[in-house]
Each structure stands twice: as structure tokens, then as C-alpha cells.
Homo-oligomer: A and B are copies of this chain.
């Protein structure tokens, strides 16, 4: 057809991208089809160049991602016991506190992280009053380090101090370990920045009665297969981040008879069980280190563009990628949109916080929301939105987990192995569901909701990957 014919023939238009052209033609009564298309990386030339450069080593990247995904899929975490942080966590010094997210100094820390640090200092008796604790922390007398750099994770502020009890998780396939504290419950708790006497008293009881009892019980088992429990909980309406009700129940069913096999007094056993029963999030602190243990197996796989860490310290969001090892890609953390507890307003909320996005990094949490439609009552949204989130996440992930399946998607494996390239190319960010801390120290949780990481983290990672080849 010659160009001249265009003006005499009846036209049928297919419009790619910008919908206003489509709408104009529609208004003029022209036959037109709209194709939902966006330029790669939103047209960002630097990113397009990085993607093109990576394209030149496509096969090496594919091999790396296959290897990283396989390691992640084959990792098999077991709960093997409970111990004290100082005895177990590599590199945890005597005057050091581990925290959630990428590295951060005291002066840049947000309220809830400072609050949790004050609480931990009081808990360790390094200071006798909140004022003294704050002064000590600000003076440089305490070293701070990301839990993620010590084979550990912690929800929200994620503070781990040397004398806290921690779960010992062992990836029996690859031999690596992960550690996490025990979950305190919701509301006014250390991890949300509260540090009142009730908070410290609960932590003491957990260290003195709960942890030793569970330790004794676990010594009578051959290790609890967390991967199996997590596969089951996905069939029971949990997604392993903000819904752990089934996981907590299944753990409870395993641990109760073990506790009864010990020489512990029935009263002690009962107090421990009642504590676990009172907190449907108890399993979160097992789900998280299980995910950490699985993802750590993929750290350092050359050329892999798959994400191994997504985490937040309440100020910055931090990303790490298999092919770039322990390097952090950071950007300011976003605010969470969701449901606030009665009496709080959006102005009370701290930016996104916690290592718990390790669950999304592993294909659970927001990625597995289709398995947990009831979660929208806690984080907001509708059940169909939960389904849609999971479906979307397949677009930015390498594969499907062979063990973790979603019944509502006809048992499709969870979307697993976030590929930095796909995130940037499609402009489609991971979905994270998460708790919301009050922005001030000492208050605690104010709600829960949904959040996306800053795209800048993924762009920085993509640039670094491109530069490294």
C-alpha cells in the first residue's frame, strides 16, 4: 500500500502505549485496538543501556540464575534448637546490637529503631534509664550492624542483643545457618520501638522460661521441618509474613507433646503454650529465618541477577543481588499504605521497616497473598487484589517454587527468584505486606499494610551488574 492510499482507504488502528491516542480515535468513532505497552524501563536510557549490556552475557546470566534458583528451591531449613545470640551469631560482639535493614548510623535511625535500641540497652543492663541508654547509643559506645550481615534476621526494628535467645535454623541441603529472636506478640513490643517495663519484663520471661523450655523440647526432636510446615500453611490461608496463624498452629501441635516429654513442670509447659497461643504471629520468627537460610544459599552465584535480600531499616530500603554478593543497593524507604489501628493517623506512621521482606524475597508474603485472602482484613484491600498480586509477581520472578504451592491458583508454585532485570524492564515492583510502627520511639505498632520498594534500589543494582561485566 502506498502512503497515498492511507488517505482514501478506511483505516483500522492499533495503538501501542499512551492511551490518549486510543481514546481520541475512539471518540471520533474510528475502529481502534489499544495495546497496553510501555517502553522498557519506562524509557530510562541508562537502564535500557544496562539491560542491553547484560543481554550480551545472556547465557551466563541464565546459567547463574538457574543455579541460584536451584539453590533457593533445594534449600531445606529445619529448626534445630534455641541458643543465646552471643554464643551463636558470627561476628556479634559484646557491645554490639544487630538491627534490621541495610547499615545505618544512630543519627539516621528512625524513632522505632531508636526505641528498640534503648529497650535492648536496658535489657542488657548497659544503662539504667532510657535517657542514659539514648546517650550511650548516641555516644558511639555501641556498635550497630545489620542482622543480615550475621546470618540473622529480625522483624521490624529487628534488634538482636548478645543475651537474647535465638532460634537456630539449619539449611540441611547446603549447610548454612540462620538465626532469629522469638516473637513477642503484637502492639507494644520491642520490635515496634516500645521499651516500657512491661516490654522488658516480657523479654526477660521469654529468655528465662520460654526459651529454655522450648530448647529442652527441641532437643527431643530431630529438628522441625520448617519447609514442610510452610508448604502446609500456604494451604491453610497463611502467606508467612503478616498471616502466620496456621503456621503458629502447626508449630504448636508439634511442640506441645515435645514439651510434655521433658521434665518441665506442667505449669511451665502451660505458660509457654498459652504464650504461643496468644500470638498468631509467633511463627513469623521461624518463617523469616527459614527464608533467610534458603536465600543465603544463593548468595554470590556469579552473574545471577536474582534478589537475595530486600530489607528496611526504617530510613532506607536495602537490596542485595546474588551476582553482586554482599553489596547493598539502598534508597529512602517508602511509607506503607494500609489499615491503622483505632486512634492512629497516617502522620503517626514510620517509613517501611524490618527484615521481614525476606519472606517476599523468598516468594512468600505479598507474593503468596493468593494463598491467604483473609489477610486483607489485616493489611487492607480485597481478596481479588490478593489474587492479582500473586499473579503479577510471576512477571518479575525466575520460576515457581516446587514445594510451596498456592491452591487457589490450581497449586501453581509461588513466584520465586525476583529478577532485577524484569523489575526494571517492566517497571513492576515487588509487593510487600508489612506491619507499621509508630514514628516515635516507645509507642509500638499502629497498623499494617502494603508497600513497594523504591525503584532506585533495583536501578542501582542493575547498573552495578552491567558494570561488573
Contacts and interface: CB of A to CB of B under 8 A. Distances in A.
A209 interface: no
Interface stretch (A177-185, A246-254, A349-357): A246-254
Contact of A407 (B237, B253, B270, B409): B237
A410 interface: yes
Nearest to A260: B270
A464 interface: no
Tell me how many chains of this kind the complex includes: 2
Interface in A272-324: 273-274, 277
A383 interface: yes
Interface in A226-242: 232, 235-238
A373 B252 contact: no
Given A245-B236, A250-B249, A270-B260, A382 B410 contact: yes
Contacts of A249: 246, 249-250, 252-253
A407 to B, nearest CB: 4
Contacts of A382: 410
Nearest to A237: B236
Nearest to A249: B249
A207 interface: no
Contacts of A374: 235-236, 407
Interface string A407-447: 11111000000000000000000000000000000000000
B245 A273 contact: no
Nearest to A251: B249
Contacts of A273: 253, 256-257, 260
Given A270-B260, A273-B260, A407 B373 contact: yes
Contacts of A408: 373, 383, 387, 408
A68 interface: no
A266 interface: yes
Interface of A: 232, 235-238, 245-246, 249-250, 252-254, 256-257, 260-261, 266-267, 269-270, 273-274, 277, 373-374, 376-377, 382-384, 387, 407-411
Smallest CB-CB A-B distances: 8 pairs: A249-B249, A373-B407, A235-B374, A260-B270, A374-B407, A236-B237, A253-B277, A383-B410
Given A236-B245, A237-B246, 17 more contacts: A235-B237, A235-B374, A246-B246, A249-B249, A249-B253, A252-B253, A253-B273, A254-B277, A256-B256, A256-B273, A260-B269, A260-B273, A383-B407, A383-B410, A384-B410, A387-B408, A408-B408
